Amino acid sequence: AAADPLPPPLALVFAVRRPYAHVREDRSASVLDGPAKLRFMINSRTWRNSWMLQVILTDHGWARVPVDQRDWDLWWCAGQANTRAIRELRPTQRLNKFPKSSTLTLKAHLYYTVTAAAARHGAHHFAFIPETYVLPSELDDFDARRGTPACADAIWIVKPYAAYCGRGIFLLPNAAEVPEHVLDERAVVSRYIDRPYLIDGLKSDMRLYVLVTCWHPLIVYVYRNGLVRFATETYTLDPSSLGNRTAHITNYTLNKRSDNFKATSALGDDGKGSKWTADALRARLVADVGQQAADTVWRDIDDLLVKTCIAAEPEMLANFEKYVPPACQAQPHAAVFQLFGFDVMLDAD
């Protein structure tokens, strides 16, 4: 560690519910094999997925160990955790991924999970997910639905089965044919939220973070001051605009390449530019609709976050008990936890 120290964060400013970290260099921790109090292992093939985590851990006295070592305290896994490796967990070790967490993280699996919960508990409890179909398995149902008068003017949004960062997403007018490549590769198609809550004419969504530390009993921590991501072109439903991805898709990875993207570079600029904190959105919402209505919106958001976890609980708990060694299941210090990112969009109502 002494031979190749990482620069510590230049400043850690912890205002109320608003943490920031400024780091001198964006590089990963070197693999260390000397003595250390705590050791972490990262199996990500690219350090860019986790360099901030590595800087923070190293600054707090942790050391990174090679992926072929078993002597680690924290395994930070990018992607799905290998179930064979999970079976070898020790009670003193911690892993950041539950087994088979695709129950929540894959679009189609999430849809099936929530649909099953709606059947158990009542559809009115889970009305926060738009009407959805998984193609090609539900193509007949989708075509039948599109043929009804209620969908004559509908717009649908098509997303690849397992993609991310806005890749492959497009809008589909109700009368349009489903492209062959969608049926070949599988996709999730949902009723498009065509009346979103707009800020200065732009569409946005929120990324909120939910930490689950236990499935039975369900223990959920919500970090409400997440991110707000904006489209970068004015929202319109003009048919000629439906192919304009930077007007209809809010993913940061897509919009940061737009000529209209406005970076936020200073702490005092929150509430400006193409990315805000959720606190800035909360303040804007209060200004637009009043404190009481804004409070109701945030209670509803808490409700959908918790209900989604409740929907996943049966399958997640079954996989936890199946793959995690019994000695690592003891509460309140179970060996596995996971931080989930929830994408939430507000409509005009």
Alpha helices in 147-190 (DSSP H): 180-185
- Domain membership of residue 185 (yes or no) is no
Answer whether 287's CB lies under 8 Å from 299's CB.
no
11 or 256: which leads in pLDDT: 256
Domain of 65, in residue numbers: 11-78
SS3 state at 141: helix
- Domain membership of residue 98 (yes or no) is no
Q: Name the band, by pLDDT with cuts 50, 70 and 90, for residue 6.
A: very low
Report the greatest alpha carbon distance in the chain: 71
Answer whether 223's CB lies under 8 Å from 208's CB.
yes
Output the pLDDT for position 343.
95
List beta partners, residue 156.
Answer: 172, 191
Q: Name the band, by pLDDT with cuts 50, 70 and 90, for residue 31.
A: low
Whichever domain contains 209, its CATH number is 3.30.470.20
Answer whether 256's CB lies under 8 Å from 180's CB.
no
Strand arrangement of the beta sheet that strand 38-42 belongs to = 62-64, 38-42, 74-76, 94-95
- Domain membership of residue 183 (yes or no) is no
For residues 178 and 143, give the distance between their C-alpha atoms in angstroms, rounded to a whole number. 9
- Where does a domain end: 60, 78, 96? 78
- Where does a domain end: 78, 101, 129? 78
Where b means 16+ CB within 10 Å and e means fewer, 288-321 reads eeeeeebeebeeebeebbebbbbbbbbbbeebbe
Output the pLDDT for position 12.
30
Q: Name the band, by pLDDT with cuts 50, 70 and 90, for residue 14.
A: very low
- Where does a domain end: 44, 62, 78? 78
- Domain membership of residue 348 (yes or no) is yes
Same domain, 73 and 198: no
Nearest to 154 by CA among 121, 133, 176, 187: 176
Which residues touch 296 (CB under 8 Å, ≥6 apart)? none
- Domain membership of residue 142 (yes or no) is no
What is the helix (H) or strand (E) element at residue 251, kind and residue range?
none
253 pLDDT more than 80: yes
Q: Residue 67: how many CA atoms within 13 Å on its side-chain side?
A: 8
Same domain, 344 and 212: yes
Summarize pLDDT for 162-215 with one digit per residue, the tens. 777 778 899 999 989 999 888 888 899 999 999 999 999 999 999 999 999 999
- Domain membership of residue 154 (yes or no) is no
Answer whether 296's CB lies under 8 Å from 50's CB.
no
Q: What is the percent of the chain where pLDDT is above 90? A: 67
Output the pLDDT for position 150.
94
Which residues touch 110 (CB under 8 Å, ≥6 apart)? 103, 104, 308
Q: Name the band, by pLDDT with cuts 50, 70 and 90, for residue 276.
A: very high
11 pLDDT more than 80: no
Q: Which two tokens stand for residue 311?
A: 């929907």
When divided into structural domains, the chain yields a total of 2
- Domain membership of residue 91 (yes or no) is no
- Domain membership of residue 225 (yes or no) is yes
What is the helix (H) or strand (E) element at residue 127, kind and residue range?
none
Summarize pLDDT for 284-336 with one digit per residue, the tens. 999 999 999 999 999 999 999 999 999 999 999 999 999 999 999 886 668 99
